[in-house]
Amino acid sequence: MKAPSPWAYIPSLYFLEGLPYIIINTVSVVLYADLGFANDQIAFWTGWLYLPWTLKMLWSPLVDGKSTKRRWLLGMQTAMAAVFLLLAALNVWNAFAHAQAANNLTFFSLSLFGFLAGAFVSATLDIATDGYYLLALSTPQQGYFVGIRTIFYRLAMIFGSGILVAVTGALAKDWGAVKWPYNWSLMFLFLALLFAAGALWHRFILPKPAADGPAAAKGQNTWADAFKTYFTQKNILYILLFILFYRLGDALLEKIVPLFLLRGAEEGAMGLSVQTYGLIKGTLGLGAVIAGNWAGGWLLGRYGFKKCIWPFAFILVLPNLFYIYMAYVHPGLAATALLITLEHFGNGLALMAFSVFIMYVSQGKYKTSHYAISTGIMALGMMVPSMLSGKWQMMLGYRHYFILTAAVSLCTLAVIPLTFKIKSIEETEKAFRKY
């Protein structure tokens, strides 16, 4: 029987990989803001939700050394459905009890633990999906589909933070189909059904690669060997610094931008409704991120990583200036939508290079573990700044906070020269560009 084309499963695999990340780390912020919790409380506690992505390097050798990546990812997709079902039930309880009116900390704690459980499942799903990709596809296919998988991962993030949020808000506020805040329960129920359907589809369609099995020989210490080979590779210090600091400005914006757009003008914010916020993200933002990813993939394929990384890095730090302007001027809806759209295009472009970088430095026998270690270090670089961002924003106000993020984001530019000293990038890139 002929193996199915990667087009039959790569888009859906990476859509389902990206969706939990954005729901847990960004949509949770919108949910808690809609329920009236404070900025510093939201940013600090949801910042902890990065922890599983930071720690996933510790159990990635288990995924590498036990069973198959196919089984792991099917199991995690099923578990993700169960987590979203739990969150739907918690939101029903909260809505029924009208607990959100009093900023109920019991609901906040329980739902936070629900999101944290989802984060552990999602982090393991990342390991298995990325590992399966590296095993199921040939090296030339990996080079071809790296843009496709990144696009669908980003599409999931825009769908989750944009279209899904817009529909959720409209259900209660515009259409009157559901009483607020039961609309959030329906959102989580939809996600549970989506993941259950995805797990069923992938059980049917995913091929079983001959190479998909435990990476270690019997009696070998998979964990120690995976970490040793990663941290003893050449130019590891440059690799670590780039992974930690390339997205530093992005990390400081991630929790605060939704709050800035949703909070009222009396707080110095933009005062958008949940549905308007989601609509901008899910329409203009959706098109922009697709265009950015396609452009980034094409430019990287044509000119290579080292020729693209400088302009991509400048584009990544530019949105910090957008938010300074918005905080001082409070432009109209059209200008706000334009700036958010440009931000999404730039992020789609710039983060394509980051995805390619991580894949280039995650090769060899333990490529699944190496990829997980790289993304875990990236999550650490996102986690700490995001946890502190709410406190800093409340101390400084939105205007001065965005000035701070613009200054700190210059660290992104400072680490770019390090990538030119990593010789393995050129070697791996040659193999990936043969297709």
Least confident of 35-44, 267-276, 369-378: 369-378
Contact assessment for residue 118 and residue 80, using Cβ atoms and an 8 Å cutoff: yes
Least confident of 108-117, 172-181, 343-352, 377-386: 172-181
Whether the pTM exceeds 0.85: the reply is no
Contact assessment for residue 94 and residue 107, using Cβ atoms and an 8 Å cutoff: yes
Residue 123's pLDDT is what? 92
- pLDDT (average), residues 64-74: 87
Read off the pLDDT of residues 86-144 as tens digits, 9 standing for 90 and up.
999 998 888 776 555 556 678 889 999 999 999 999 999 998 998 888 888 877 788 77
Residue 225's pLDDT is what? 82
The Cα 269–Cα 398 span in angstroms is 7
* 430: confidence class by pLDDT, cuts 50, 70, 90: low
- Nearest by Cα to 340 from 328, 325, 352, 355: 325
The Cα 391–Cα 334 span in angstroms is 30
Read off the pLDDT of residues 205-264 as tens digits, 9 standing for 90 and up.
999 888 777 765 544 566 788 888 888 888 899 999 999 999 999 899 989 999 999 999
Contact assessment for residue 250 and residue 84, using Cβ atoms and an 8 Å cutoff: no
Residue 389's pLDDT is what? 93
Least confident of 43-47, 86-90, 300-304, 390-394: 300-304
User: What one-letter code names the amino acid at 259?
Assistant: L
Residue 219's pLDDT is what? 45
What does the DSSP assignment read for 344-413?
HHHHHHHHHHHHHHHHHT--STTHHHHHHHHHHHHHHHHHHHHHHHHHHHHHHHHHHHHHHHHHHTHHHH
- pLDDT (average), residues 148-152: 85
- 205-236 in b/e burial notation, b at 16+ Cβ within 10 A? ebbebeebeebbeeeeebbebbbebbeeeebe
Considering just the CA atoms, what is the radius of gyration of the chain in Å?
A: 21
SS3 content of the chain, % helix, strand, coil (to 5): 85, 0, 15
Query: Between 349 and 81, where is the model more confident?
Result: 81
Residue 17's pLDDT is what? 95
Read off the pLDDT of residues 153-177 as tens digits, 9 standing for 90 and up.
888 988 998 889 999 999 988 787 8
Superfamily for 6-432?
MFS general substrate transporter like domains (1.20.1250.20)
What is the average pLDDT score of the chain?
A: 87
